Each structure stands twice: as C-alpha cells, then as structure tokens.
C-alpha cells in the first residue's frame, strides 16, 4: 500500500487532521509549560484523568467528556496553589496521579465484561477518532489560538517574572488559569490519538528539541510547531504500517529526534573546540 492509498483512507484523514491540530495546541501550551518546569504536571493530569475515563465507562457516558471535567478540576486546583501554600504544586500532581489512577483501576473492576477500549485510552488508537472529535478539536483550536493571540504578552512576561507581570498590570491570574486549565483540556483531547500514558510526550519533547536549536522565542516556537506536527504525522504513519499503537510510536520517534539533536549539539560543540 503506497502513501496515497494510506492518506485517502477516511480514518487516516481524521487522524492526520487531529494530529495537526493537537500538535499545534501542544506546541502552544508546551512553549510556556516547559520553562515553568511543569512537565511533570502533564503526566499527573493525564494519568490521573483515567479516573474520568473509568467513570465514563462505568456510567455509559462519553468517557472523554468526563475526563475533560476531571482534568479541568485538576488544572484549576493546581493553578490555585501559590508559593506560600502548605502543599506544593508537584506534591499535588503526585496526589492526582496516584489517586486518579488508583481510583480508575478500582472503578474499572466494577465495569462488567471484557474491556478492550481501555487499552485504546491507555496508549491511543487512531481508529477511535470520529468526525465529532475533529469538530470539537477545531472549535477548541480556534478558541485557544484566539486567546493565545490576545494573551501572548501576558504569557511571555508571567513565564519569566511573576512580580514584574503584576507591576505592569498584566492579567496574571487569568493567564495562569488559562494555561493550567487549557493544558489539562488539551491533554485529554489528545488521549484518543496518543493515550493517557504517553500524551504528555507531545507537550514536552518538541519544546526540548526546539530549545537545542532556537535562538529566540520566535524561532523556538516555530521549531516546536514544526517538530510536533512532523513527529505526530510520521508517528501515525509508522503505527499504521507497523501495526503499533499510536502513542508509543509518536513518543519513541520524539525521543529519538531529541537524542539525535543532543548528539548533534554535542559533536558540534566538540568540533568547535
């Protein structure tokens, strides 16, 4: 089967469309989440949101919708944690991760019968992506990019210095809620494609790769977008041809690109000495 045949398959078209939209969304949020050292937050929220998926499966309600509600709550609670709180942000992430996953496994034991869909939610399955998912993603993408454009200045300055952002009168709290809750929803929007276990790879690794080459925010952001979109499309193709789950295919590809980038930087540095 050649590339044209693969691309002309309707479910692959849906996968590619959702891949481009998701990779772009993850690039937007990752640009600000990674420098804030909140990469672990993505893992905690996505893993812990399995609780929502399990609840959805038990109650027979669209699991992704329940997971989005659960993830938004996690994001909201994390954004309420301040530097003077008795509980730390990473501590709370650990609570969401262990509590959410523990709760999900116990709830799943009450779901009767064989649970083949659980594996899809864990590691992603392009066959599960429907047109309704694409419509939701497109709407969400338009909303998020509109907010990003209007809040870009505030996002940049709050990332580098919170006090200065307050002095400049930027909407610090609004920006923080948008970043945390937006990232949480995006993580769950990516679950069908990549699965709860590995979805955070698309948020974190493209930014890490772009940071090896980018010299400015503008170039790093552009590179993040390109790397995210390329690796997700390529990962989907690999998963289709090799019959691998999509999440691991994309994650491994991203890790390999990062290793190559680090190797290249290392060699280049040694040669210049």
Partner 1 sequence: MIGNKKILSDASCSIPRKALTFLVGENGSGKTTLVKSILGLLPISGGNISFHSTNGTKPILGYVPQNVIFPTPFKLTVSEYLKYAAQVPRNKITNVIKRVDFPESHLSRNITELSGGQAQKMLLAAELYRSPDLLFLDEPLSNVDDSSEKHIIDVILEVKNEGVSVVIITHDWQFVSSYGNHVICLNRNFICDSGYCVCKNSLSKVNIKNIQKTTPDPNSTHSGYCYIENI
Query: What is the distance between the alpha carbons of residues 258 and 120, in angstroms, rounded to a whole number?
Result: 26
CA distance 141 to 231: 19
Scanning the structure block, which residue is given the tokens 């994309």? 250
- Give 42 or 197: the residue with its C-beta nearer to partner 1: 42
DSSP secondary structure string, 132-153?
HHHHHHHHHHHHHHHHHHHHHH
Of the candidates 217, 67, 97, the residue with the CA atom closest to the CA atom of residue 156: 217
262 binds partner 1 (CB under 8 A): no
Q: Which two tokens stand for residue 26?
A: 């993850």
Given the rule CB under 8 A, which of 65-73, 93-101, 191-199, 205-213 is the region that contacts partner 1? 205-213
> For residues 53 and 68, is the Cβ–Cβ distance under 8 A?
no
Q: Residue count at the site for partner 1 (CB under 8 A)?
A: 27
Work out which of 34, 45, 68, 122 binds partner 1, going by CB under 8 A: 34
Q: Which of 94, 103, 171, 214 binds partner 1 (CB under 8 A)?
A: 214
35 lies in the binding site for partner 1 (CB under 8 A)? yes
User: Which of 167, 259 has the CB closer to partner 1?
Assistant: 167
174 near partner 1, rule: CB under 8 A:
no
Cβ contacts of 258 within 8 Å, gap of 6 or more: 205, 208, 209
Which lies closer to partner 1 via its Cβ, residue 67 or residue 223? 223
Q: Which of residues 105-164 bind partner 1 (CB under 8 A)?
A: 152-153, 156-157, 159-161, 163-164
Residue 188: half-sphere exposure toward Cβ, Cα within 13 Å: 28
Residue 85: CB minimum distance to partner 1, A? 9
Burial of 207 (0-12, 13-18, 19+ CB in 10 A): buried
Per-residue CA distances from 121 to 15, 89, 154, 161 (Å): 15, 26, 34, 37
Q: Which is nearer to partner 1, 37 or 174 (CB)?
A: 37
Among positions 13, 24, 151, 211, the unique one binding partner 1 when judged by CB under 8 A: 211
Which of 114, 218, 242, 270 forms a contact with partner 1 (CB under 8 A)? Answer: 218
54 interacts with partner 1 by CB under 8 A: no
Length of the chain counted residue by residue: 273
Rounded Cα–Cα distance for residues 198 and 252 (Å): 10
Binding mask 72-101 for partner 1 (x = CB under 8 A): ------------x-----------------
Using CB under 8 A, pick the residue from 7, 9, 37, 102 that binds partner 1: 37
* Binding residues vs partner 1 (CB under 8 A): 34-37, 84, 152-153, 156-157, 159-161, 163-164, 166-168, 207-208, 211, 214-220
């Amino acid at each position: 089967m050649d590339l044209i045949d693969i691309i002309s398959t309707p479910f692959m078209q849906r996968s590619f469309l959702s891949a481009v939209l998701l990779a772009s969304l993850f690039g937007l949020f990752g640009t600000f989440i990674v420098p804030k050292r909140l990469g672990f937050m993505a893992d905690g929220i996505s893993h812990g949101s399995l609780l929502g998926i399990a609840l959805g499966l038990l109650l027979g309600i669209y699991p992704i919708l329940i997971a989005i509600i659960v993830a938004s709550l996690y994001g909201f609670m994390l954004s309420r944690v301040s530097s003077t709180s008795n509980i730390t942000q990473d501590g709370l992430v650990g609570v969401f991760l262990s509590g959410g996953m523990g709760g999900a496994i116990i709830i799943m034991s009450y779901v009767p019968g064989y649970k083949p869909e659980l594996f899809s939610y864990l590691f992603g399955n392009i066959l599960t992506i429907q047109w309704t998912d694409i419509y939701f993603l497109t709407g969400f993408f338009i909303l998020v990019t509109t907010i990003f454009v209007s809040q870009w200045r505030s996002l940049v300055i709050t990332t580098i210095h919170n006090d200065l952002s307050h002095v400049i009168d930027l909407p610090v709290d609004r920006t923080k809620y948008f970043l945390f809750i937006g990232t949480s929803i995006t993580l769950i929007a990516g679950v069908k494609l990549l699965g709860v276990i590995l979805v955070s790879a698309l948020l974190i690794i493209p930014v890490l790769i772009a940071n090896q080459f980018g010299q400015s925010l503008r170039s790093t952001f552009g590179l993040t977008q390109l790397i995210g979109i390329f690796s997700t499309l390529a990962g989907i193709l690999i998963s289709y041809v090799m019959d691998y789950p999509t999440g691991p295919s994309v994650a491994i590809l991203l890790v390999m690109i990062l290793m190559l980038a680090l190797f290249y930087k290392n060699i280049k540095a040694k040669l210049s000495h």
